Every structure is written in structure tokens, then in C-alpha cells.
């Protein structure tokens, strides 16, 4: 089998791959996302996710000869705007109030590079409908959510307490977590990283 490398330090992506028993190594890219976003402000939030994924995969692929390197990224779009992770949990209330009663989009971008060249890519968008939650719920949520308030751009962990924010989601569970799994597994079978 060919070697597979995850160019990400994301704990949730590692957990998803571990859960389906895919063997992989972690080699985190040193791409500066802030610079890339500044240089590509004209890109849509959807295309930005794929640009970031490609940059990470290419960066690590250059030092991993022969390995299949996965870059993955996810962006959040609210009212047509690309949002970034919050620098402080103190800002979470304002963001969640803006999201309340509205939908937002999570755009996932995946890219696999080998020997410095892209061999596969995938984009997927999920639509999440935030319910019109009460102020009392928001107070309790902010008190309990902890690390999730700054670890994800939406100030929630969908696989955890954050699920209570939503009335409906249109999209794949794994894509919402930031790793569209079934298309990725198909690609890994094609590249003989996992058994077909």
C-alpha cells in the first residue's frame, strides 16, 4: 500500500480517519493562511477552502517524495462574507447572535498531492440552519461550550454541544466536520492507499 499523509494538525480530521481505520501519518504544513487569504481576497469563500487545501498539500508534498498528501480546509460563509476563527471567546456571543435564525455555509476543500503535483481534489458545501434560540440558551451554551468557541469558525463543535444550535442541516455529517469522507475514501482506494 502507498503511504498517506495528512497535512493538518486538526484533531477532528485525525479522529475521523482513525475511526475508519485509515493508516496515515501527520505532517503539518507551515502555510500561512492569513497571508494567502490577504493575497486572494477576491476569491469566494468556497474557492478559498480549496485554495487553502491545495496550498497545504503542495507544501508538505514537496518534502514527502512518493507519498499521497492530503490538504484539507473549511471556510464559513455568513451573509456572503468569509469569517475567520474568533481570537477570543468574548467575541462568541456577538457571532452567535448574528447567526441566530439564519443559515450559513460550510465549504470544504480537499486536495491530494503527490511529488508536488495535484492528483485529486474535491469541494463540498453544507448548509446549516441555526434555530432562533433563546437568550437563556445562549447564556448556558457560552458557559458550557469552552474550547469550541475559538477552535472553530462558527464557535461550535457540531459533533458535540454545538448540535443544539441547529434546527436543520443540509449536508453530509463528515463534510460538516471538515473532512468529506466518502469521496476521500474512494480516492484512497483508487490510489491504492487502502484496499478496494
Q: Active-site positions?
A: 73
122 neighbors 49 (Cβ within 8 angstroms): no
Which helix or strand (DSSP H or E) is residue 46 part of?
A: helix 45-61
Report d(CA 13, CA 149) in Å as an integer: 18
CA 13/CA 46 separation, integer angstroms: 19
Which residues lie closer than 8 Å to 27 by C-beta, 6 or more apart? Answer: 5, 6, 7, 60, 63, 64, 69
Contact 93, 100 (CB under 8 A): no
Burial 119-148 (b: 16+ CB within 10 A, else e): bbbbbbbbebebeebeeeebeebbeebeeb
Amino acid at each position: 500500500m502507498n503511504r498517506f499523509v495528512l497535512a493538518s494538525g486538526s484533531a477532528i480530521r485525525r479522529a475521523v480517519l482513525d475511526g475508519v481505520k485509515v493508516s496515515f501519518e501527520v505532517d503539518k504544513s507551515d502555510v500561512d493562511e492569513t497571508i494567502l487569504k490577504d493575497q486572494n481576497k477576491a476569491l469566494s469563500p468556497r474557492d478559498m477552502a480549496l485554495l487553502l487545501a491545495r496550498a497545504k498539500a503542495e507544501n508538505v508534498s514537496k518534502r514527502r517524495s512518493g507519498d499521497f498528501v492530503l490538504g484539507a480546509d473549511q471556510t464559513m460563509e455568513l451573509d456572503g462574507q468569509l469569517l475567520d476563527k474568533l481570537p477570543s471567546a468574548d467575541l462568541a456571543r456577538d457571532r452567535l447572535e448574528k447567526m441566530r435564525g439564519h443559515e450559513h455555509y460550510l465549504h470544504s476543500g480537499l486536495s491530494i498531492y503527490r511529488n508536488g503535483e495535484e492528483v485529486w481534489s474535491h469541494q463540498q458545501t453544507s448548509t446549516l440552519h441555526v434555530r432562533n434560540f433563546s437568550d437563556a440558551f445562549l447564556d448556558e451554551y457560552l458557559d458550557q461550550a469552552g474550547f469550541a468557541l475559538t477552535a472553530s469558525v462558527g464557535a461550535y463543535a457540531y459533533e458535540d454541544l454545538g448540535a443544539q444550535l441547529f434546527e436543520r442541516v443540509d449536508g453530509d455529517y463528515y463534510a460538516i466536520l471538515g473532512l468529506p469522507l466518502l469521496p476521500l475514501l474512494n480516492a484512497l482506494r483508487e490510489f491504492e492507499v487502502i484496499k478496494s
